[in-house]
Amino acid sequence: MKTLFKAIAAATFGLALLHSCEIPFSLEDTAAPKIYLQCIPAPDSTVLQVLYAAPAVGSRTEKGPAFSPGISFLVNGQPRPFKDLGDGRYVSYDPLKEGDEIRVDVTARDLPSASGKTVVPPVPHITETVVRTEEVDTATVRKVTLTLDRAPEEGEYYGIQIRRRTVVLYTDGTFDDLDIYIVPGKLSNLLESGTVTMDDFVQVNFTDGLFNGFLDHPMTLLTAKQFEGNKYAFYLDSFDTEFWTSLTEIDWENLPERDEDWQDYWGRDREGEEDTRVPAGSATYCQIFLYRLSPETYRYAKALFQSNFNFLANMGLIPANFTYSNVDGGLGVVGALSVDMADFLEADNAILKLILGQNPPTGYRP
- Asked if residue 36 binds other proteins (CB under 8 A), the reply is yes
d(CA 318, CA 309): 9
- Asked if residue 28 binds other proteins (CB under 8 A), the reply is yes
DSSP code per residue over 151-214: ---TT-EEEEEEEEEEEEEETTS-EEEEEEEEPPB--SSGGGGGG--GGGG-EEEEETTEE-SS
Residues 6+ apart with CB under 8 A from 313: 319, 320, 321
Query: What number of residues does the chain have?
Result: 366
> Quick one: how far is CA 215 from the chain centroid?
6
Report, in Å, the least distance between residue 19 CB and other proteins.
5
Which residue number, 129 or 212, has a Cβ lying nearer to other proteins?
A: 212
Q: Within positions 308 to 327, which residues make up the interface with other proteins, using CB under 8 A?
A: 309-326
- Asked if residue 1 binds other proteins (CB under 8 A), the reply is no
- Asked if residue 64 binds other proteins (CB under 8 A), the reply is yes
d(CA 348, CA 188): 24
- Asked if residue 56 binds other proteins (CB under 8 A), the reply is yes
d(CA 216, CA 201): 15
Count of positions on this chain that bind other proteins (CB under 8 A): 82
- Asked if residue 59 binds other proteins (CB under 8 A), the reply is yes
* Residue closest to 123 by CA, chosen among 292, 5, 268: 292
Pair 359, 352: CB distance under 8 Å: no
> Of 77, 213, 272, 357, which lies in the binding site for other proteins, with binding defined by CB under 8 A?
213
- Asked if residue 49 binds other proteins (CB under 8 A), the reply is yes
Give, in degrees to the nearest 5, the angle at Cα 314 between 58 and 223: 110
* Residue closest to 91 by CA, chosen among 34, 50, 36, 63: 50
Q: Within positions 8 to 27, which residues make up the interface with other proteins, using CB under 8 A?
A: 8, 12, 15-16, 18-27
- Asked if residue 233 binds other proteins (CB under 8 A), the reply is no
- Asked if residue 51 binds other proteins (CB under 8 A), the reply is yes
Report, in Å, the least distance between residue 310 CB and other proteins.
7
User: Phi and psi of 344, rounded to 5°?
Assistant: -155, 155
Which residue number, 63 or 270, has a Cβ lying nearer to other proteins?
A: 63
* Residue closest to 153 by CA, chosen among 224, 47, 229, 57: 224
Report, in Å, the least distance between residue 171 CB and other proteins.
37
Which residue number, 166 or 306, has a Cβ lying nearer to other proteins?
A: 306
Which residue number, 265 or 322, has a Cβ lying nearer to other proteins?
A: 322
Residue 116: strand pairing partners: 104
Q: Within positions 174 to 203, which residues make up the interface with other proteins, using CB under 8 A?
A: 189, 191-192, 194-195, 197-199, 201-202
d(CA 189, CA 319): 32
Which residue number, 130 or 312, has a Cβ lying nearer to other proteins?
A: 312
Which residue number, 284 or 306, has a Cβ lying nearer to other proteins?
A: 306
Q: Within positions 256 to 315, which residues make up the interface with other proteins, using CB under 8 A?
A: 299, 305-307, 309-315
- Asked if residue 155 binds other proteins (CB under 8 A), the reply is no
* Residue closest to 250 by CA, chosen among 181, 185, 182, 167: 167
Which residue number, 287 or 306, has a Cβ lying nearer to other proteins?
A: 306
Residue 205: strand pairing partners: 218
For CA atoms 254, 257, 263, 264, the dihedral sign is negative
x-or-dash string of contact with other proteins, 122-151, rule CB under 8 A: ---------------xx-------------
Q: Which stretch binds other proteins (CB under 8 A): 57-65, 171-179, 267-275, 333-341?
A: 57-65
- Asked if residue 110 binds other proteins (CB under 8 A), the reply is no
